[in-house]
Structure 1
Amino acid sequence: MIFIDRQEVIALLPEGWKAKAKTVTDALHAASGSAERKEIIADNEELWRSIKSVLAGVGYHKCWYCETAEIRSDNAVDHFRPKGKVSGTGHGGYWWLAFDVKNYRFACTFCNSRRHGDGGTTGGKADHFPLVAGSQRADSPLVSISVEIPMLLDPCDYFDTTAVWFDETGQVKVNPEAEAIEENVPDRVSRSRDLYHLDHVRLIEARKRIFLDVLEMCDQADGALLLYKSTQDATARTVFHDSINALKRMRREDAPYSAVAKCAVRGYRSSSPSAKIIAEVS
């Protein structure tokens, strides 16, 4: 999961979009009841679909939750806080946020919808939006959503993106540094792994490949550096520099599973001079 700045989305909205969204939202507030609100939302779905390309571009055309670009495609615009009912609660949904761009997340099919995956896994956010135990839930437009502590990690919250860690097996782990700051981080990571379907086998395998590729590139760089230091061989120096450049590219946010690459580099920095350079300088 990489950080997505919602201000970038807002800056790229087509001319007139915010005005249209406000008009529809005003109509929702004026509606006589839930049935009329559902009809208004259904009649205006094209409004959020029309900015799908904007959301995709800001996230480098990767799912905001899992960073998948292709193997879990058919991306959709997810309402972080469900616009309809909230599963497992009596909440009728955050209808007043249905056309609030700050509530949109670009999501792949396996993160956004309930799906059965390889290895018997099941996941998908759908209409789930659990809160941390004891958190108040905003049950109307009169209550600010700031009273809520979401259980699900949010790619638009930088701290949340730091909570997820990955290991050499491709599995989701908890970043101990984030846990030291907020004690509920392990529960939030666990619930997010389940509802975003981050334990999908093909996704784990993809992350594992990236992790191992990073370690291999670090070893290549370290070997070339050692050879250059002992022989002053120009070719070895070139290999070292090219390997460092490759590691830098693997950590770029537009690269496949860049969050995994960053974890691999950070975890290897104590034993790899090249990983240390990348982790501490970039």
Structure 2
Amino acid sequence: MIYVRRDPNLIPERVLRVAERAQAQLEALSPENRAAFIEKKSHVWRGFARYLAKMSYGKCWYSESDCVQSFKDVDHYRPKKQARRSDSESDDGYPWLAFSWDNFRLAAQRSNQINRDDDTDESVGKGAWFPLMQGSKQATWDDRCIADEMPVLLDPARLADVRLIEVTASGKMGPTKLCLGAADRTRVEETVKRLSLDLPGLVSARKQAMRLVQELVELFEQKRSAAEVSEATSAFISVHMPAAGQVDMLQRLTGPQQPYASAARAQLRIMGYGELCVPVEQAGAVA
């Protein structure tokens, strides 16, 4: 998962106005007519896709995948028509957020849509799944207190949430040391499962990014060791085999434009070069 700083300046005024008109129409409808109206207006949120993509350099906000051969959905973080709170409980969700771009997340289809894990055959994918933590307030049409809710699923638009999850040495996602107790760890585990963040293809892609970082670091360390042999060797390496380019490349691999930058950052931290990582809050910035 990557942190994405949402930038309204990237969205044309005309696109925002279309959403505002749809919202005004929705507000005037009776409860039984809202779902049908929302379904009929799907072009409204789809119109935001290219601008959401600019905010994340084309990457899925959940999986960090940049696969150009797959369509990406505009996911409603809080489900617009039905919210599944558990395997047996559901409700009407958050229809008043159907046209709110603050609720939109760019999502690869395997993260957003219900599908199967190739290894376990388990059902994965977010779909309408949106449980709340025990004791959380729950927003409704008449009491839209979403700021008081405590969602289980981590949100890539919240830096505090993104800081709870990281790529581990195995290439899978796991909790960071900033998780406080079982509740935070549960949020991470549920997010990984429901957003399909550990599917085999994703883990393989992260490992590939981590191997590249490992090779570059090892090459740098070889040069560093050789430079310590003598002043003459050090001078020769400085002139003919400069390491600055490798260091620059390592840092670029952790930047926001790169797919699986979080995996590159993880590998640098594992190898003791965490100071080269672009900070998560900067990684979410749009150039």
Could you state the TM-score of these two structures normalised by the residue count of structure 1? 0.90
Q: CA deviation at 1:75?
A: 0.6
Does the 8 A contact of 1:91 with 1:139 survive in 2? no
Question: Which residue does the alignment assign to 1:103?
Answer: 103
Query: CA–CA distance in 2 between the matches of 1:102 and 1:75?
Result: 17
1:221 has 2:220 as partner: yes
Greater Cα shift, 149-158 or 45-54: 45-54
1:168 has 2:158 as partner: no
Aligned match for 2:258, one of 248, 255, 260: 255
Residue correspondence of structure 1 range 138-217 to structure 2 within 5 A: 138-176=139-177, 178-180=178-180, 184-217=183-216
| Unpaired segments ≥5 residues, structure 1 | 270-274
Question: Which residue does the alignment assign to 1:85?
Answer: 82
Q: CA deviation at 1:42?
A: 2.0
Question: Which residue does the alignment assign to 2:3?
Answer: 3
Query: CA–CA distance in 2 between the matches of 1:199 and 1:145?
Result: 29
Q: CA deviation at 1:20?
A: 2.4
Residue correspondence of structure 1 range 15-164 to structure 2 within 5 A: 15-34=13-32, 36-70=33-67, 73-87=70-84, 88=86, 89-120=89-120, 121-164=122-165
Distance 1:117-1:183 versus aligned 2 partners, 3 A rule: closer
Q: CA deviation at 1:117?
A: 2.9
Question: Which residue does the alignment assign to 2:285?
Answer: none
Query: CA–CA distance in 2 between the matches of 1:144 and 1:119?
Result: 39
Distance 1:4-1:141 versus aligned 2 partners, 3 A rule: farther
Q: CA deviation at 1:16?
A: 2.5
* Amino acid of the structure 2 residue aligned with 1:155: P
Does the 8 A contact of 1:224 with 1:236 survive in 2? no
Q: CA deviation at 1:280?
A: 9.3
Does the 8 A contact of 1:123 with 1:194 survive in 2? yes
Does the 8 A contact of 2:169 with 2:266 survive in 1? no
1:193-227 CA distances to partner (integer Å, 9 max, x unpaired)? 00001120111111112122212211111111221
Query: CA–CA distance in 1 between the matches of 2:125 and 2:60?
Result: 13
Distance 1:127-1:72 versus aligned 2 partners, 3 A rule: farther
Distance 1:28-1:99 versus aligned 2 partners, 3 A rule: same
Does the 8 A contact of 2:59 with 2:66 survive in 1? yes
Distance 1:18-1:276 versus aligned 2 partners, 3 A rule: closer
Does the 8 A contact of 2:169 with 2:270 survive in 1? no
Distance 1:276-1:41 versus aligned 2 partners, 3 A rule: closer
Query: CA–CA distance in 1 between the matches of 2:16 and 2:274?
Result: 45
Please give the secondary structure, in 2, of the residue aligned with 1:119. Answer: coil
Structure showing the higher helix proportion among its residues: 1
Query: CA–CA distance in 2 between the matches of 1:111 and 1:253?
Result: 20
Superposition CA RMSD, Å? 2.1
Q: CA deviation at 1:106?
A: 0.1
* Amino acid of the structure 1 residue aligned with 2:245: D
Aligned length: 272
Please give the secondary structure, in 1, of the residue aligned with 2:91. Answer: coil
Query: CA–CA distance in 1 between the matches of 2:142 and 2:47?
Result: 25
* Amino acid of the structure 2 residue aligned with 1:147: D
Question: Which residue does the alignment assign to 1:241?
Answer: 244
Distance 1:179-1:223 versus aligned 2 partners, 3 A rule: same
Q: CA deviation at 1:32?
A: 1.5
* Amino acid of the structure 1 residue aligned with 2:131: P
User: Which protein has greater RCO, CA pairs closer than 8 Å, 6+ apart?
Assistant: 2
Q: CA deviation at 1:18?
A: 2.5
Could you state the TM-score of these two structures normalised by the residue count of structure 2? 0.88
Q: CA deviation at 1:192?
A: 0.2
Identity among equivalent positions (%) equals 27
Q: CA deviation at 1:233?
A: 4.3
